[in-house]
Structure 1
Amino acid sequence: MAFQGKTKRIQQQFPSPEELYLSGTLPRTSTAVDGLWLHQGDVIRAYAEHHHKTPDLALELPTGSGKTIPGLLIAEWVRRRGEGPVIYATPTKQLARQVLATAHREGVPGHLLIGSHKSWDTLEQSAVEGAEAIGITTYSAIFNSSPKLPEPRLIVLDDAHAGEQFVGAEYGVTIRRYEDPEAYESVLDALSSFLSGLLLQRLRGEPDPGAHHQVRLLLPGINPSALARLDSALATLPKPYTFDFAMIRSGLASCCVYLSYGGIQIRPVIPPTFENRIFSRSEQRIYLSATLGSGGELERAFGREHIVRMPLPTKTPPRSGRRLFVFPDLTAGGDALGLTRRIVGATNKALVLSQETLAKTEAAAAGLAGEGVPVMGRDDVEQGLDSFAMAPTGVLGLANRYDGLDLPGQACRIVVLGGKPDAVGLQEKFLSERAEASAALAERLRTRIVQGAGRCTRGPNDYAVVVVLGSDITRYFSRPENREALEPELQAEVEFGWQNSRGTDPDEVIENIQMFLEHDAAWREDGEPLVAEFRQDAVKAEAPGAEALGSSAASEVKAWHLAFRGEWIAASEQLQEAARQVGTGGQSTRGYRGLLLYLSGVWLHLGAEDETQRARARELVRQAAAASEVRGTWLKEMPQLPGTEEVSLASMDVVAVSAIVARLRGQLRPNRVNDDLTSMREALAQDESTVYEGGLTALGSFLGAESSKPKGQGRCDSAWVWGTAIWMTVEAKSEQHADGLLPLHDIRQANTQLDQLAADRSMDHPPAGSPAIIVSDRLTVDPQHAPAANANVYLASTETIEQIAGDVSIVWSDLLTSAAGIQAEQTLRQHVRSVMTEHGCLPTQVIDRLTQNRIRPGA
């Protein structure tokens, strides 16, 4: 019998992906879409005309505007040109299956390559390798220590705006204490040389407010012996840590360690993707993104120096449905959670998104579900969303899943955004809360919120209620700069929702929601025109510092790649250049600049060949401290470079240390002090104003301040005075609940407190930099009232006060036992300084902790 077979058929070529689609060549099914939207055709046409050879290209396709079909058409057009394999990558397996279904529907040949490579079908894998079909896979199949995919001509990266979460986090080891306490203890032991005995004790014991909340930055590369211990500890961890460690082991000396009571994360700030042959050797990488941004987020997330951005050819992005934003924390009655339950009950079908742990998110979903309404979680939708989408009722809770969920039409009409998603991982938490580098996270945070809000509006005719739940995310939307950075259509929806939530009776809110969900003539005549009016006034503006951060991205990527290879001096030079560029962002990027300067100093020290370079390294660290000012208190926790002279304390810290030393040298009765500390903490755990005020004054005294309750009507509840160095007034609103807005009266009252204190002391004005603090759990301010605040008025939560009180108690417990045996005055001062610094209780550190939320915008 003769051999059978056929020669490989040459596939027809087309000038562009659009003409391929229009030709009828693709074997589309009866369920395929009717045709391309105008903007989809514009995007793929522009790609073929101008960017077919651009190595790194980002295409803007906003959420709900259809990214998958343009991505698949580009991929198929390139595949047909016979230039090599084509890979289409998504963040999750569920999304990969969704893309495969779309490919089959639209007549694009594709095979699924997800999970273990050992389970891949050999024929399908060969077809992808031979460019006979597109390989549809996940980011994790590319970004791992030993990828098994073929080296492609093209990689299409869907939902690229989520790159940090699915790429950056792959290059590191993350240990969660409650999931694996043995691994946590093992790595903590290896890091012990960086930590004081007291801090180790706190991390190993039961959680206390300070240790549980705080994230520490450690740089193991500074200490070769500690680095070797860390390497050994990580190498002995079981799977899956083995694979994670393999991604960073060669560059461990450049990695940052983020340490908290709840976990440890070890990773470089920017992933060394240059080492990945699948990614780096591809002739072209296309990033499909809901937003291109200008702050360099894509470059940092994927470790690429330059990514060309191709925005939508049309000035006005396509509308992806209508959203009715509701802010329960602003409504009358003070029961945001109860109102949210009623909103969910309007349809008994809702998606709940949160950055909390999986267990907490699913518990939150259960708390919002009515009686008899099924509650679903990650495991229920791992194979796809159909089980939820097709269910008549149900509440689905998903953690950190702001992308890739398509719930159009009747599938779901309510999405709940539970909290501000600004701390996905310990690196983000450190940048946001410790390094005052929120500007570097702004683009990422904004994208998550926008993506989450759009999960149930996937087309122009969709509509959904978006419930913004939690004081932190409500406060985010209260800041004008955050709202103005949104697209005008979304700005209008947010403004409409804000105006119709603020002070509104919950029954009226429910009535409005029902009218919206019916989407009948009443909504079109009464609601839609008002949204249109807000839309006319909305203008998108770049977030503060975005341009500076965008210009520095290339230098940062180069710097981290060089550091990962141990080329310390060149890496330091690049990071110094990045710091210079970031510095053009002014106050908004000051904290991030301080971090870059510090790292550049450490790297220069590691590569220094002579004393001149070592001296320059120490100078960079000093510049980092100057750049960060008071806000860079994390720098006080970092070890000094060898040869560095001890940094002089700020004048306010000198006053505090002196006061505490004097108290320790006086007629001190330890039992009485311990009783006073207990009474202070009990007072600060209560709502009753008189008792709370007494707790505040006691707290100020234990912080080395002259602390008192000024006499007279309308005066602050406690004043903390550190000589003439700095003062602080504290206005306590401990009785206020988290729901609602801070009253204008409270702001105006806080504005006057420092001047009244100066008058008491016959001074013209208080010391420069003195803050006025309003302590309240009502942390959201009406945008109309915020400009009335002086620039030095801040909002702080009662939780922050409790954390400081907990830290102060630990400081004094240590001093009462350790200071007694210290005779030399200078040695005691140094000891007091060290213990207070370790626990964030120097005045500079306390002020940092209480001034994270300035009321006045743009100040």
Structure 2
Amino acid sequence: MVDFNKHLAAGKPEKKLHPIEIYELLDRRSDKGPLRPAQIAVLSTWYETRLAERDIILKLHTGEGKTLTGLLMLQSKLNQAQGPALYLCPNKYLAEQTQIQADKFGIKQCAIGNDRQIPADFTNGKSILITHVQKLFNGKSKFGLGNRAQPVGAIVLDDSHACIDTLRQAFTIRLTREKHGPLFDQLLAFFEDDLKHQSLARTDEVKAEEWNVLLPVPYWTWQNRLEEVSRLLTEHREEEGLLFVWDLVKDSLRDCQCYITGQAIEISPYHNPIELLGSFDKAKLRVFMSATTNDDSFFVKELGLSSNTVSNPLTYEDVKWSGEKMILMPYNMDYHLGHSFIVDAYGKEVKGRNHGIVAIVPSFNDGAVWKSAGAEVLDGDTLASRLQSLKAGDGAKALVMANRYDGIDLPDDACRILILDGKPSAETLSDRYQEECREGSEVLAMKTAQKIEQGLGRGVRGEKDYCVILLIDHELTSFISTLRNQRFFSPQTRKQLEIGVDVSGMVAKEATTSDSAKELSGIIGQCLRRDEGWKNYYIQEMNSVDALVPDRRLLPILELERKAELSYRQNEVDRAVQHLQAIVDQHLGAEDDAERGWYLQEMARLRYATDKNAAGQLQIVAHKKNQYVLKPQHGMQVSKLVISQTQAEGARAWLRQAVTYKEAFLQLSAILNHLHFGVEAKKFEKALQDLGTVLGFRSGRPDKEYGAGPDNLWNIASGDYLLFECKNEVKTDRPSIYKTETGQMANSLLWFEREYADAQVTPIMIIPTRKIGREAGLRSDVVVMLKPGLRKLRDNALSYIKAFQKQDLLEITPQQVFEALETNDLTRASLKTAYTEVTQQLV
């Protein structure tokens, strides 16, 4: 073999260190041309001015080459003898795709093989290890934990927001009743008495294996029973659910939270001790990939980045937008184009279709309606293979993905029509609890907006890619259209949503037929058939998009939350509480009682270990501010619903907060969408509460707020109330009302008489039958709202809001509001009789 290096005039060349020079010498495939301007710009900036920085957030538009950019940064570090170098993807599928890309560009890479061992070429700094985050983020990782972890010189975290979800899962013990029956029952028994104090009915529902009922274990109960819990979990540490988590949480059990449903228990730290993931925590260079549409503030709390790192990403500012999205809300174009129409029209199989139709739903349960229409719902076993066939041109069947808002690429014909069917739902029980407690939270709104924006990007993966996106869920469209939420979306997405609204208006004005379905199909076709007018209009509008100016208002809140948890872990309780108090004092408005109550509860939790009395007083105040947080052990007071204005004035106040008719219509539509038999109980009860507010009443959920009383209560006038027991989840062909249900109504009425003394009450049971079972009994004044009555209530509420279609909501008078309420049988008098029927006792 000839050693050509001996024949070089200048001897053996030194390795190139600049990533751009490295790229020029790669043995890449002939179809891989020069670097793009965005890549050249960010690589030059990084190497020439930011090489010494440990943490870098890399933000580029979709299709501008983030993957190659990250690989070149790692190769530069290897050439500087500062390896090993690790490239982490959010899932196995994307890791395989990245490995293929690296090979095409001539970048040396290696993977963890069937032997599950870390390759020597990685540890010796000869090639980049490309794998998925689950390989690193687990308690049995081959990379090791803590100070014994495999040293890593440089690491790239691709799609970092998706990787955060995996990181949280790595620190979460999840036990199911099905797989961990004895352990599940023992833990439930440990906490049962204290759970009953929170809600007797919900504890019974958990014991009855109701999957959608959630109860938090109070922090005082957890800490008081910690020794027993630790002993029990240690005995089961080798079982599924604990095996890959235990070593990550066993030393942080004191600082864990626990949530229980009828089917699952989750235990996780309030703050993940990521220092245990030594390979990640101690890496000398960490590059966090992030789309330009994402707000990276959560990196501070979840990954421990500094606010300075978040505020100074490495980005290319010459490009404001990328790709083409026609975003439409069909229902807003015509109410006939509702959810059922879209599912039936786009869920059916079409032989020979060579482009993909993909729907994203919040959960597998939400995918059932699509499956019945002919679509295929993908799971973990079928996802990769079906996406490959989709990319190969097999688009006959619409594909449905559950909760896959990130980590999936559907370029070009793989997805020409993307349907978002539902607002993203919480992935963990901890998130579910926060959603229930923190209504109106900007922190949660930003999380939701980010998930939606990630979902919108699944079908457009490059500068020239295009896709039609249909938003078909009322709750989703209401969230997106609400003005206070829009600031959490990027300027690019806000402009695309604005274009969609304008296009819908054009369709209405320039329609050539009264057939709304045909008009919808026509406008979609203009995008898919590459209508030149549409393309030019889109470019014209997108070129006016504002430059990206990140909204950093939540950054100091998240930074203070992180500081509080770190101080607490260091036993500096006073300092920890001071950080949370700073959030309350400096970042919450007078109207933010729900958030104030949340942070007061967090202060109480931190105080409990050192001063139980002070913690108890804080919890009492927290519950007064926010009735959805934990009931205090002692001293709880019921805050009575007392109306302080006329119904018309209250209803007018709700209309004015919506500002525009369109937003009011969308908000009410989202509420009414959950007022159906068969809807999950908590969503139904929340919708009924919100409808009471819309109609101008004081509205509450005593059972949820105090653990006793009815599901819903409306104060419709001074000393006059509507009391609701909601049985909307029962089968609609139910023959009679059961004894347990009449008993619940009786208990609710006793609670009402105790708390509201001589007030008048109309008790209403929402249930699909008026017949009382032979073993049951109800007071004679109890009436029922059947399916027709509930439908009539929805229809009249929608008719009421349409009365203001051509009016300025900021200028309407109470008299105008009253007339609309009266016309639609929504006054206090009508609500007592217009929608209900008397019961019938079976003998």
On whether the aligned pair clears a TM of 0.5, the verdict is yes
CA distance in 2, matches of 1:30, 1:430: 53
CA distance in 2, matches of 1:64, 1:377: 27
CA distance in 2, matches of 1:375, 1:680: 31
CA distance in 2, matches of 1:684, 1:258: 25
Q: Which amino acid aligns with 2:234?
A: A
Q: Is 1:296 matched with 2:313?
A: no
CA distance in 2, matches of 1:592, 1:203: 27
CA distance in 1, matches of 2:429, 2:44: 41
Match of 1:743 in 2: 801
Q: Is 1:509 matched with 2:508?
A: no
Out of 363, 386, 390, the position equivalent to 1:356 is 363
Match of 1:790 in 2: none
CA distance in 2, matches of 1:73, 1:682: 57
1:319-351 deviation per Cα after TM superposition (whole angstroms, max 9, x unaligned): 331111122332331532322442466857222
Match of 1:560 in 2: 565
Match of 1:105 in 2: 104
Match of 1:497 in 2: 500
CA distance in 2, matches of 1:443, 1:141: 29
1:26-61 deviation per Cα after TM superposition (whole angstroms, max 9, x unaligned): 1212343x2322222222222212322222221112
Give the unaligned 5+ runs of structure 2.
1-5, 144-149, 509-515, 644-697, 711-721, 733-744, 763-788, 828-834, 837-843
CA distance in 1, matches of 2:799, 2:435: 23
SS in 1 for 2:280: helix
Out of 116, 119, 131, the position equivalent to 1:119 is 116
Q: Is 1:11–1:80's contact at 8 Å kept on the other side of the alignment?
A: no
Q: Is 1:402 matched with 2:405?
A: yes
Match of 1:595 in 2: 598
SS in 2 for 1:89: strand
Q: Is 1:418–1:470's contact at 8 Å kept on the other side of the alignment?
A: yes
Q: Which amino acid aligns with 1:68?
A: T
CA distance in 2, matches of 1:27, 1:127: 19
User: Cα–Cα, structure 1 residues 582 and 232, in superposed 2: closer, same or farther, change >3 Å?
Assistant: same
CA distance in 2, matches of 1:605, 1:225: 10
SS in 2 for 1:249: helix
Match of 1:843 in 2: none
CA distance in 1, matches of 2:817, 2:324: 53
1:658-705 deviation per Cα after TM superposition (whole angstroms, max 9, x unaligned): xx9xx99xxxxxxxxxxx99998589999xxxxxxxxxx999998556
**1:431 Cα deviation (Å)?**
1.4
Q: Is 1:466 matched with 2:469?
A: yes
Match of 2:20 in 1: 18
Q: Is 1:351–1:412's contact at 8 Å kept on the other side of the alignment?
A: yes
- C-alpha root-mean-square deviation of aligned residues, in Å? 4.6
1:517-551 deviation per Cα after TM superposition (whole angstroms, max 9, x unaligned): 10133533xxx4267347637687766xx51x311
**1:110 Cα deviation (Å)?**
0.9
CA distance in 2, matches of 1:773, 1:51: 67
Q: Which amino acid aligns with 2:248?
A: M
Q: Is 2:331–2:472's contact at 8 Å kept on the other side of the alignment?
A: yes
**1:201 Cα deviation (Å)?**
2.1
Q: Which moved more, 1:10-19 or 1:61-70?
A: 10-19
CA distance in 2, matches of 1:742, 1:10: 82
CA distance in 2, matches of 1:225, 1:578: 24
CA distance in 2, matches of 1:82, 1:194: 57
Counterpart mapping for 1:73-472 below 5 A: 73-113=72-112, 118-120=115-117, 125-149=119-143, 150-177=150-177, 183-196=183-196, 198-205=201-208, 207=210, 213-220=212-219, 222=221, 224-237=223-236, 238-291=239-292, 296-306=297-307, 308-309=309-310, 310-311=312-313, 313-315=315-317, 317-330=319-332, 331-333=334-336, 335-343=338-346, 347=353, 349-357=356-364, 360=365, 363-369=368-374, 376-382=378-384, 385-393=387-395, 394-436=397-439, 438-472=441-475
**1:466 Cα deviation (Å)?**
1.1
Q: Which moved more, 1:502-511 or 1:167-176?
A: 502-511
SS in 2 for 1:243: coil
CA distance in 2, matches of 1:746, 1:450: 31
Q: Which moved more, 1:470-479 or 1:10-19?
A: 10-19
CA distance in 1, matches of 2:22, 2:86: 19
Q: Which amino acid aligns with 2:110?
A: H
User: Cα–Cα, structure 1 residues 498 and 167, in superposed 2: closer, same or farther, change >3 Å?
Assistant: same
Percent identity between the two aligned chains = 21
CA distance in 1, matches of 2:451, 2:526: 28
SS in 2 for 1:36: coil
SS in 2 for 1:103: helix
Q: Is 1:215–1:430's contact at 8 Å kept on the other side of the alignment?
A: yes
User: Cα–Cα, structure 1 residues 31 and 48, in superposed 2: closer, same or farther, change >3 Å?
Assistant: same
1:485-533 deviation per Cα after TM superposition (whole angstroms, max 9, x unaligned): 3333322221222344479622211111112110133533xxx426734
User: Cα–Cα, structure 1 residues 494 and 403, in superposed 2: closer, same or farther, change >3 Å?
Assistant: same
SS in 1 for 2:609: helix
Give the unaligned 5+ runs of structure 1.
1-5, 609-613, 641-645, 665-675, 687-696, 710-730, 760-771, 777-792, 794-800, 803-859
Q: Is 1:519 matched with 2:526?
A: no
**1:172 Cα deviation (Å)?**
1.3
Q: Is 2:797–2:824's contact at 8 Å kept on the other side of the alignment?
A: no
1:134-186 deviation per Cα after TM superposition (whole angstroms, max 9, x unaligned): 11122122222133233101111010122431112221112345666555434
Q: Is 1:516–1:523's contact at 8 Å kept on the other side of the alignment?
A: yes
CA distance in 2, matches of 1:356, 1:304: 31
CA distance in 1, matches of 2:823, 2:39: 50
Q: Is 2:46–2:314's contact at 8 Å kept on the other side of the alignment?
A: no
Q: Which amino acid aligns with 2:381?
A: D
Match of 2:639 in 1: 650
SS in 1 for 2:588: helix
Q: Is 1:597–1:621's contact at 8 Å kept on the other side of the alignment?
A: yes
1:429-488 deviation per Cα after TM superposition (whole angstroms, max 9, x unaligned): 111222336322233322221221111211111111112121111111111233343333
Q: Which amino acid aligns with 2:121?
A: A
SS in 2 for 1:167: helix
**1:223 Cα deviation (Å)?**
5.0
CA distance in 2, matches of 1:774, 1:486: 39
Q: Is 2:175–2:266's contact at 8 Å kept on the other side of the alignment?
A: yes
SS in 2 for 1:282: coil
User: Cα–Cα, structure 1 residues 230 and 104, in superposed 2: closer, same or farther, change >3 Å?
Assistant: same
SS in 2 for 1:466: strand
Q: Which amino acid aligns with 2:16?
A: F
Q: Which moved more, 1:34-43 or 1:450-459?
A: 34-43
Q: Is 2:361–2:367's contact at 8 Å kept on the other side of the alignment?
A: no
**1:750 Cα deviation (Å)?**
11
User: Cα–Cα, structure 1 residues 37 and 221, in superposed 2: closer, same or farther, change >3 Å?
Assistant: farther
Q: Is 1:220–1:253's contact at 8 Å kept on the other side of the alignment?
A: no
Match of 2:38 in 1: 39
1:64-106 deviation per Cα after TM superposition (whole angstroms, max 9, x unaligned): 4332111111111111111121111111111111111111111
Match of 1:61 in 2: 60
Match of 1:550 in 2: 555
Q: Which amino acid aligns with 1:745?
A: A
Q: Which moved more, 1:578-587 or 1:176-185?
A: 176-185
1:209-260 deviation per Cα after TM superposition (whole angstroms, max 9, x unaligned): xxx6453332456554522232234334422422223321211111111233
Q: Which moved more, 1:339-348 or 1:12-21?
A: 339-348
CA distance in 1, matches of 2:411, 2:725: 55
Q: Is 2:294–2:490's contact at 8 Å kept on the other side of the alignment?
A: no
CA distance in 2, matches of 1:469, 1:480: 19
1:563-588 deviation per Cα after TM superposition (whole angstroms, max 9, x unaligned): 4x4x44x1552343144136433348
CA distance in 2, matches of 1:775, 1:204: 42
